[in-house]
Amino acid sequence: MSTLQPAPAPAGAVTAPPRGPRPLPRWASVVLALAAGAGLLLSFPPYDLWWLAPVSVALLAAAAHRRRLRAGFGVGMLAGLVLFVPLLDWTHIAAGWLPWMLLSLAQAGYLGLLGLATAWLSPLVDRFRAAWPWVAGLLWVTQEALRDRAPFGGFPWGRLAFAAQDAPALRLAVLGGAPLVTFALAAAGGALVALAWQAVSSWRGRTPAVGDRDPRAWLGAAGFAVAAAALLAGPAFVPTAAPASQTRTVAIVQGNVPRLGLDFNAQRAAVLLNHVRATERLAAEVRAGGKPQPALVIWPENSSDIDPLRDQDAAQKIAGAANAIGVPILVGTVLRGDVPGEIRNAGVLWMPVTGPDLAQLYVKRHPVPFAEYMPMRPIARLVSTKVDLVQNMLAGSTPGVIRTEAATIGDVICFEVAYDGIVRDTVTGGAQILAVQTNNATFNEAEARQQLAMVRLRAVEHGREALMVSTVGVSAFAGPDGRVHASTGFNVDAVVLRDMRVGGPRTLATRLGQWPELALVALTLLVLAGAVPLRRRRRNSDMIDAQGKTEER
């Protein structure tokens, strides 16, 4: 009995690239996209299930693989909505539901582009299955690079790297910053989906020349399993920056914000008074021997919403606190401009006896669009009735390098901690410790904990001890190994002291700056362009298949 063999392809015939399993049914892609978005959400604080990040990358890659470009965009967009709508729900507390929805839609659109790019590269990963991890890592880094910058300076919330606060991959920040951490987690996800694809191909016997018992199939699966394990666990062996030898005692003051029974002006005065009184109580405990003398005190953003350079009463209160504690206080304040409605969000160093040192003043460089200043105000009025309540916050032009006798502080304000370059500029400018002054009073604890995860990454990235001080919490210190120390509660008043190590050598990530990210983005563009001939071959093959079926009929 003879066995029929397929006829060899004629010379010059178009040969299709190897195909993986068929595209998933539409319903299965939708389910995987929903699961991917939910997994990404749970990987971030306050849930902190970081291991779900690479799993979610794998699910989204599988959902978009071999789909049409429009369908790839759709599944990415769906995953993005499931992620960003709940992740950013704290924005509606201050801005209302419509701005919250618009921001979530805009952020989800970038995951839509990621899904589209995944679909575009399907012929490439079908032909070179070992490319799956690299493709996933490159696409996620590029998506985040774009989202971090556009529009209006970008909005980096929800980067994979910010889910890695308890993951071994966090240590990679010392080598290549947040982009390298994102790359590792996404590449691990790519290895997981390649492992699953390899297993399905082997089970179905669809891989060319590979049957159910062909050892090459299992060797390929083992290789992807090892790659995923190495990407997830391997970074644990990357050493963090060596700690500095000198220490300084730093106090952070979380004065809390009264919420009931006060009008706007009375509340501003009460917030300032809370921070003054907390500092004066600390001074009394120091004099009594109950607490060590700090070398520096740091107050949060908006601890004085009353401009102390123009309001004599506010200035006297801050001066009283500085004189009582006997050391400089870095005060988060709002400075009024000469033009009505113009303000600056600033950190100013207030010295005992002599008062504000205006040579050591940092003005926030990246005000938040639509919250601290209003682009396209006439159009924005159609979206929210609160538009005209937003004043025009002017951006600063110099990095937040505050020099004191105790230490040189790298100061950033609130959301600025999410931007790689703004933090790095303080370290290249000489910062020995990192300080994030923030005001979470109009948000919630989830937002504060998401922000603290960013502080932890920055401490590892630059090999500097860091702190976050908030009006209401969460306030904490973070070491260059990423560990959190002395974290406070939320909606409480607290004063925390810690001996912080100051200085240390610059890390590789600090020295390289944005070059690792630029290199990964450039590779992504090359890979996207390299898929063009493969897509043409796939299209020609589909046309030949369709023609053959027509002739058979």
| 416 catalytic residue (yes or no) | no
CA distance 76 to 84: 12
> Which amino acid would we find at residue 190?
G
> Which amino acid would we find at residue 532?
V
CA distance 483 to 501: 14
| 291 catalytic residue (yes or no) | no
Q: Are strands 408-413 and 433-438 parallel, antiparallel or unpaired?
A: parallel
The pair of structure tokens assigned to 511 is 């020295």
3-class state of residue 455 by DSSP: helix
| 301 catalytic residue (yes or no) | yes
Which position among 144, 317, 364, 465 bears the catalytic label?
364
Which position among 144, 317, 372, 414 bears the catalytic label?
414
Which has the closest alpha carbon to 334: 369, 310, 359, 317?
310
Count the neighbouring beta carbons within 10 Å of the beta carbon of residue 549. Answer: 9
Angle at 435 between CA 432 and CA 439, to 5 degrees: 175
Which has the closest alpha carbon to 299: 391, 398, 446, 411?
411
- Treating both helix axes as pointing N-terminal to C-terminal, what angle do 173-204 and 215-233 enclose, rounded to 10 degrees? 160
Give me the residue label for tokens 């300076």: 153
Give me the residue label for tokens 């704290």: 90
CA distance 43 to 47: 6
3-class state of residue 210 by DSSP: coil
Are 347 and 411 a contacting pair, CB within 8 Å?
Answer: yes
Say how far residue 409 (Cα) sits from the centre of its chain.
Answer: 22
In degrees and rounded to multiples of 5, residue 296 shows phi and psi of: -160, 145
The pair of structure tokens assigned to 377 is 């105000």
Are 447 and 473 a contacting pair, CB within 8 Å?
Answer: no
Q: Which H or E run contains 151?
A: none
CA distance 188 to 164: 13
Contacts of range 311-314, beta carbons closer than 8 Å, 24 or more positions apart = 314/272
Which position among 144, 301, 372, 461 bears the catalytic label?
301
Catalytic sites, residue numbers: 301, 364, 414
